[in-house]
Structure 1
Amino acid sequence: MTQAKKGDKVQVNYKGYLDDGTIFDSSEGKKPLDVVLGSGTVIPGFDAALVGMEVGSRKTVKIPMDDAYGKHNAELVMQVPKDQIPPDLKPEIGQKLQVGGAAGELMAVEVIDLTDDFIVLDANPPLSGKDLTFDLELVAIA
C-alpha cells in the first residue's frame, strides 16, 4: 500500500484533545481535513504524524508543545490602560478581540484580566504551552 509522504495531498479525520481529556477540535460531522504534507499549513507534529500512514490506517499521537503551538510567551501578554480602549467596548474575561500591532497588522488577543486601570490581553495562540493528543485516520492520498 502507498504511504503518505511529503508533498502528498491527504485527507484526514482527526480528534484533538488536551491531557485532561478536553476535546479542542474534531473533524467529526465535517468533511475530512485536506493537508499538503510539508506545506506548513498544520502544526509540525500533526504533519509529521501523517507521514508514513496508509489509507485507512489510524493512530493516536501525542504532540509536545514545541511541535504544536510552542511555549506560552510572556512577552505576548500586555497591559493596556483602560483609557486607551474605545469607550463603547465593554471587555470581559475570555472575550476574543482583534487589535492593531506595532506594524499595523491585526493580532487576535484574548482578555485574560481586568483591573481598575488596565485590560490585560494575551496574544499567544490559545493552545500555546500545551501538549496535544490527536486521534488520526488517513482517509485519502491524492
Structure 2
Amino acid sequence: MSQQVKHDSAVLVHFTLKLEDGSTAESTRANGKPALFRLGDGSLSDALENQLLGLTVGDKRAFTLAPESAFGGKSPDLVQFFSRRDFQETGVPDVGTIMLFSGRDGSEMPGVVREVTEDSITVDFNHPLAGQHIDFDIEVLEIDPQLEEKHADIAG
C-alpha cells in the first residue's frame, strides 16, 4: 500500500463535480459508490492527475479546472446536421435526447439532440461538460496499486 498518490497509483475516491452555476453535475457521494482511477492510464487529464499527486488517504481537496484542463472546449466541428430521413427507423427524437451513433470505424459515440426543425436534426457530439469550468471536490479513500482486482465491481 502506498502512502502518497504517485504517477501510477490506483486511487479510490469520492468526488463531486459542480458547474459554475453551483449545480452538481456528478457525485459519487450521492450514489454511495466511490470511483477508482489509475493515474497514467490516460483516463484523467494531466491537470486533474496533478491535483491528486502527493495526496494521502483521508486527504480532501477542492479545486477548479478550466474547460481545456477538464472536459475540453466546445468544438463546432462536433455539431452535426442530419436529415430527418436519417431517423426513419428510430423516429424523430426530442430535443435533449441522448442517442448512440455508429462511426465509420464501428465505434459508438453519444450525441445530444440540440434542435429539430422541419428539414434537419442537429446533434452535438461534444462532451456534455465541454466548455465549462468544473469545481472538483475530491476525497482520497484508498491508495493501492492492487485495488483494481479487489474492487473491480465499483470501478468508475
- Looking at structure 1, the residues matched to 26 and 115 of structure 2 have their Cα atoms a distance apart, in angstroms, of 25
- Looking at structure 1, the residues matched to 90 and 59 of structure 2 have their Cα atoms a distance apart, in angstroms, of 52
Aligned to 1:111: 113
- Looking at structure 2, the residues matched to 105 and 12 of structure 1 have their Cα atoms a distance apart, in angstroms, of 29
- Looking at structure 2, the residues matched to 25 and 44 of structure 1 have their Cα atoms a distance apart, in angstroms, of 20
User: What letter matches 2:76 in structure 1?
Assistant: A
1:26 aligns with 2:24: no
Aligned to 2:11: 10
CA contact (8 A) 1:5 1:52 kept: yes
SS in 2 for 1:79: strand
Aligned to 2:125: 123
User: What letter matches 1:122 in structure 2?
Assistant: D
Deviations 1:68-111 (A, max 9, x none): 11110101101101122224413100000111223332221010
Q: TM-score, normalised by structure 2?
A: 0.84
SS in 1 for 2:12: strand
CA contact (8 A) 1:109 1:121 kept: yes
- Looking at structure 1, the residues matched to 46 and 111 of structure 2 have their Cα atoms a distance apart, in angstroms, of 23
- Looking at structure 1, the residues matched to 107 and 5 of structure 2 have their Cα atoms a distance apart, in angstroms, of 36
1:112 CA drift (Å):
0.2
- Looking at structure 2, the residues matched to 42 and 127 of structure 1 have their Cα atoms a distance apart, in angstroms, of 14
- Structure 2 regions of 5+ residues with no counterpart? 145-156
Aligned to 2:152: none
Structure having the larger proportion of residues in helix: 2
**When the two structures are aligned, how many residues end up with a matched partner?**
142
- Looking at structure 2, the residues matched to 109 and 42 of structure 1 have their Cα atoms a distance apart, in angstroms, of 21
Aligned to 2:141: 139
Deviations 1:107-131 (A, max 9, x none): 2101000111000000111011111
Moved more, 14-23 or 101-110: 101-110
CA contact (8 A) 1:60 1:133 kept: yes
1:98 aligns with 2:95: no
C-alpha spacing 1:139/1:89, structure 2 compared with 1 (3 Å): same
- Looking at structure 2, the residues matched to 14 and 89 of structure 1 have their Cα atoms a distance apart, in angstroms, of 37
Aligned to 2:87: 85
CA contact (8 A) 1:44 1:68 kept: no
- Looking at structure 1, the residues matched to 124 and 9 of structure 2 have their Cα atoms a distance apart, in angstroms, of 36
